[in-house]
Amino acid sequence: MHPAIKIAAGSLMIVAGVYGSVTFLQDLIQLGKAAIGPLLVLVGSFIVWLESDEWKRMASKTEDTQVSETAVDHDTGPTRPAHTQILEGTVDEVRSEVMERDDIDIEALLEAEREGKERKTLIDFLERRV
């Protein structure tokens, strides 16, 4: 289609849109007012969902920390290597631990993961870090 025809069609749409908006301005305002309530419900529900999920995560993390501290206090056997303790967490927890700390032997961590759970995502991540 020729560009001039597209320009004419676009211009006609603009004029029709402005005319419709001006002609039905009161209806448009009422529609906007009517949409505020459902929009607030939607946004509020989304915020509640996100924050409750974050709250659950924080509670779980606190509980895990307390359990691990208790386990360390009562553990009389030989201590396990640090990389084995790190690998007990989820893939995301291991990733953040590796990213935060500089004293981790990534090669030993990679070898322990290959001998243990063999999580492909984590192995790929650790191979890229080596």
What is the domain extent for residue 105? 80-130
d(CA 63, CA 69): 10
Please tell me which residue, 59 or 9, carries the higher pLDDT value. 9
64 with 9, same domain: the answer is yes
pLDDT of residue 76: 47
25 with 71, same domain: the answer is yes
Number of domains in the chain: 2
1 with 24, same domain: the answer is yes
8 with 23, same domain: the answer is yes
- Residue of 126, 59, 61, 130 whose CA lies nearest to 94: 126
Q: Are 129 and 106 in contact (CB under 8 A)?
A: yes
- List pLDDT tens digits, range 25-50: 898 889 889 999 999 999 999 999 99
16 with 49, same domain: the answer is yes
29 with 90, same domain: the answer is no
10 with 47, same domain: the answer is yes
91 with 59, same domain: the answer is no
17 with 70, same domain: the answer is yes
d(CA 46, CA 3): 44
- pTM score of the predicted model: 0.37
User: Each residue of 31-52: b (16+ CB within 10 Å) or e?
Assistant: eeeeeeeeeeeeeeeeeeeeee
